[in-house]
Structure formats: structure tokens, C-alpha cells
């Protein structure tokens, strides 16, 4: 199967990606998805899709270029999901490889992400992709 990888730009492209995003973020309805996307985009968030020939997303990566004291200029992966019907076909690997190249082109020297404890399959995927567990992430509701 052939595919293309591109940043989603139009309302229609983003709409087609919503069901895939909801597999990772089931709390999102259409209104919150678009509201949050528009707000995050102001801070550099980009949604990149690996799509089939018809333009239907099969995998998504929500990313941004960030800078901090410990990772310097880096790509942060907020969302990475392959639609359940397309898992284990190499699409996650292809999309993550694309994000790594994209980051290098933007002058980044590192890629960072977090993954919830219960996402054991995702952890195995990241470890196969040579990502290391390096810290715990803490949070607190306000």
C-alpha cells in the first residue's frame, strides 16, 4: 500500500484525522478537538499524518519544536497514534522516522515524548525504535 506523510492544514484534513486522534484521546469531541488544535497551533503544535492514497489518515504525530535547559532545541511528540486497524504494518515506524528527519531539518538535536504507564505496547514500540526510558513525569490537577 502506498502512503504519503504531510502536515495537516485544512479543516477537511483535520476532520478526517479526528477518529484516529480519538483512539488516543477518547475524551475529545469535535468541538474540543478543533478548539484545542487552534490554541496549540499558536504555540507551534503541528499535526502530521501518514495517510493512504485516498487521504485517509492511518497514523498521526502531534509535534512541536521546543527549547529548554535540558533538551536544548528539540522535537516534543505530544501525540503518536496508529489507527488500531493499521497497527503492526510499519506505519508508526515510518511516521516517527519522518518526525526525526523533520526535527533535524529544524535544527533540533533531540526528540522527547512521554507515554502513560498503561501503554505497554507503545513502550515496546519506542524501545524497538531506540528510545530510552529516562525519567518519570509528574503532574497535579489544579
**1 pLDDT more than 80:** no
Contact at 8 Å (CB) between 17 and 62?
A: no
Overall number of domains in the chain: 1
Residue with grid cell 489518515, as numbered in its chain: 57
| Exposure b/e, 108-142, CB count within 10 A at least 16 = b | beebbbebeeeeeebeebbeeeebeeeeeeeeeee
- The domain in which residue 119 lies consists of 4-128
Residue 76, strand partner residues? 64, 112
At 94, the pLDDT band (50, 70, 90 cuts) reads very high
Contact at 8 Å (CB) between 94 and 77?
A: no
> Is residue 138 a part of any domain in this protein?
no
Instruction: Give Cα separations from 58 to 44, 51, 88 (angstroms).
Output: 23, 5, 12
> Is residue 71 a part of any domain in this protein?
yes
Q: 34-65 pLDDT, tens per residue?
A: 999 999 999 999 999 999 999 999 999 999 99
CATH code, domain carrying 28: 3.40.630.30
Amino acid at each position: 500500500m502506498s502512503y504519503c506523510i504531510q502536515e495537516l492544514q485544512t479543516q477537511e484534513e483535520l476532520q478526517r484525522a479526528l477518529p484516529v486522534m480519538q483512539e488516543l484521546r477518547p475524551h475529545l469531541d469535535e468541538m474540543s478537538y478543533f478548539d484545542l488544535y487552534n490554541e496549540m497551533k499558536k504555540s507551534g503544535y503541528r499535526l502530521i499524518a501518514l495517510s493512504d492514497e485516498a487521504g485517509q489518515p492511518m497514523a498521526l504525530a502531534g509535534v512541536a519544536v521546543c527549547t529548554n535547559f535540558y533538551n536544548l532545541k528539540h522535537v516534543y511528540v505530544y501525540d503518536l497514534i496508529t489507527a488500531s486497524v493499521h497497527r503492526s504494518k510499519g506505519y508508526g515506524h515510518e511516521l516517527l522516522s519522518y518526525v526525526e528527519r523533520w526535527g533535524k531539518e529544524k535544527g533540533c538535536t533531540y526528540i522527547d515524548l512521554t507515554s502513560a504507564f498503561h501503554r505497554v505496547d507503545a513502550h515496546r514500540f519506542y524501545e524497538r525504535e531506540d528510545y530510552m526510558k529516562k525519567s518519570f513525569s509528574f503532574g497535579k490537577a489544579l
